[in-house]
Structure 1
Amino acid sequence: MTTMKSPSENALETTVHQIITKRIKTFQHLQFCFCNPVKTARARAINNAKTPIFKTQPYLGVMNFTPHQILQILSKPKLKRRAKLYYTFGVSIGNILLIENPLEFIKSLGILVEELDMHIEISNGNSVKRYFTKMLNPTDNTSDFPDQTEPKSYTYLELLNFPFEYDLVVVFDSFCTMAISCYQKLEELVSLPSFSQQVETFERIDNRFRLIIQTVLKEADENFRSIISSEFQSIDTLRKPKNEPNVQMNIPDHS
């Protein structure tokens, strides 16, 4: 016998489906804008332009970033520091995707997000402590504020250390693929009666992915405004007499 869903349950299901669709399209857009142009350029450099072109899209439907501009964006210190985080999160997600039961999957993914948040909090807290200790007593190698220690192992979070710098294009491209797979699997759970008991877990998971999207988009928006401003100034310089000053273009921040 089929159980009729209440209007509130139907509304919740519709909202969650919309969120999932939005996140999938956003991660695909980030791949098409920032990863595929660089992947195409690298493949052509190796194979003498005999490789297929990866699908690309203009950023926000407005502008195609060149591979050089993309690498400038991704080389920003804030994003470079996050390369290891994206790698760690992506590898850990890969293990959880093997869980076939949708309910067990979302529970495990929720635990992973909690463990990732704990890892970030401990790492950031230790960095702040070391910074202020060094500021207060530059010659003292000891600290009155000992570092927080992480658990010897997590249930789902895989902490891997490699003695080389991460390639953020490759890492972020792989992470986007993992994120898309995550949301596709979460979508299988939404229509199940048990999903109503996992709404808070879904929100916690979605918030973590949303924060990652916002960080990347913020860096991209800053570069986007800078490039557009430079283009307008170039046009303005060509059109103005030599004795007139250039107009300063102020692109408003809508992020």
Structure 2
Amino acid sequence: MSGFAGSATLMMGTPGAVLQTTSQQIQQQEWIPTLIHKRITTFRYLQRCFQGGMVLYNTALVSEQEMRAIWTDEKMQRRSQQYFFLGTSLATILEIPITGDCLKALTNVLQEYDHFAAAESRSKSIFSKSGRKATSDGRTFEETGEYSYLEVRTLPFNLDYIITTSTLCDMIGLLYEKLWEQQQQDKLWNFQVLESFQKIDAKFKKILTTMYKELEAVSRDVMIQEFAALDPLASTSMALHDDDWNSMKSY
């Protein structure tokens, strides 16, 4: 699996520290498109993997049926809801034309998503305080559990985890494509924009890492099953031969 991990690490990329001088900021502009391209490539690749039938990083062919056998809708319903709420909230950001406003909206959505996911992991009900707007008394969503940017609501149906995750990868890929286009138009991002982008990218990388680790676990299980099927010592026929040999030893 070393090649698998190495390939994934290369595609994920690691953002460098945000630099503060003007000359360093200019140098940073050459690094941003490269990182954005890596994110687009990786999320698009994961999107295809979750759709099934992909050889994951040249290790194992993971089918949709194999993923569904491990990630049942009942088991993954909480995660499906979280990804669905995040994806629908991110969709509204695609229409924001100004880079600074776009990154500010992304920051707010991701902050509320992190808080919501953490709160729901401690709660038995995924709809606790959901679907409400922020109160006007100045309290933050951390204090109230009410969200202004994250679209949380009660759903009248259960979600398909595989489809929901694949769609979220598509949505995040579209957002990075939008950021790439804006960066090409703006030419130079100031320190505040660079800092916002780095923080946002770190949050998306966290989601990416979670998806990657889960896919890695599935591919590992698939490979173990394939190796077991090829192992003659593990076959039923060999087991019968062993029984015959033990019987012969008693004579």
Q: Distance in 1 between matches of 2:81 and 2:190?
A: 32
Q: Which amino acid aligns with 2:172?
A: A
SS of match in other structure, 2:159: coil
Q: CA deviation at 1:74?
A: 3.2
Equivalent in the alignment of 1:201:
196
How many matched pairs? Answer: 201
Equivalent in the alignment of 1:136:
none
1:107-151: per-residue Cα shift (whole Å, max 9, x none)? 111111112122223333445xxxxxxxxxxxxxxxxxxxx6412
Asked if residue 183 in structure 1 is aligned to residue 180 in structure 2, the reply is no
Cα 1:125–1:81 change in 2 (3 A) is closer
Q: Which amino acid aligns with 1:119?
A: F
Question: What is the aligned counterpart of 2:110 among 103, 113, 116?
Answer: 113
* Residues 48, 166 of structure 2: 8 Å contact kept: no
Q: TM-score, normalised by structure 2?
A: 0.69
Cα 1:80–1:212 change in 2 (3 A) is farther
* Residues 99, 105 of structure 1: 8 Å contact kept: yes
Equivalent in the alignment of 2:134:
none
Q: Distance in 2 between matches of 1:99 and 1:107?
A: 10
Cα 1:126–1:228 change in 2 (3 A) is closer
* Residues 96, 102 of structure 2: 8 Å contact kept: yes
Q: Which has the higher contact order (CA 8 A, sep 6+)?
A: 2
Q: CA deviation at 1:76?
A: 7.7
Cα 1:199–1:59 change in 2 (3 A) is same
Q: CA deviation at 1:214?
A: 1.5
SS of match in other structure, 2:55: coil
Q: Distance in 1 between matches of 2:75 and 2:194?
A: 31
Q: Distance in 2 between matches of 1:189 and 1:79?
A: 35
Q: Distance in 1 between matches of 2:154 and 2:117?
A: 15
Provide the alpha-carbon RMSD of the alignment: 2.9
Equivalent in the alignment of 2:224:
229
Q: Distance in 1 between matches of 2:102 and 2:205?
A: 19
Cα 1:21–1:194 change in 2 (3 A) is closer
Identify the range of structure 1 (231-240 vs 96-105) with the bigger mean alpha-carbon deviation: 231-240
Q: CA deviation at 1:188?
A: 2.9
Equivalent in the alignment of 1:26:
42
Asked if residue 173 in structure 1 is aligned to residue 166 in structure 2, the reply is yes
Identify the range of structure 1 (23-32 vs 202-211) with the bigger mean alpha-carbon deviation: 202-211
Matches within 5 A, 1:1-255: 8-35=24-51, 37=52, 57-75=54-72, 79-126=76-123, 149-151=144-146, 153-154=147-148, 156-191=149-184, 192=186, 193-237=188-232, 242=239
* Residues 74, 80 of structure 1: 8 Å contact kept: no
Unaligned runs of 5+ in 1: 38-55, 128-147, 245-255
Q: Distance in 2 between matches of 1:25 and 1:86?
A: 20
* Residues 102, 185 of structure 1: 8 Å contact kept: no
Cα 1:96–1:8 change in 2 (3 A) is same
* Residues 33, 64 of structure 1: 8 Å contact kept: no
1:157-192: per-residue Cα shift (whole Å, max 9, x none)? 111211321112221222112101110111234353
* Residues 103, 197 of structure 2: 8 Å contact kept: yes
Cα 1:62–1:6 change in 2 (3 A) is same
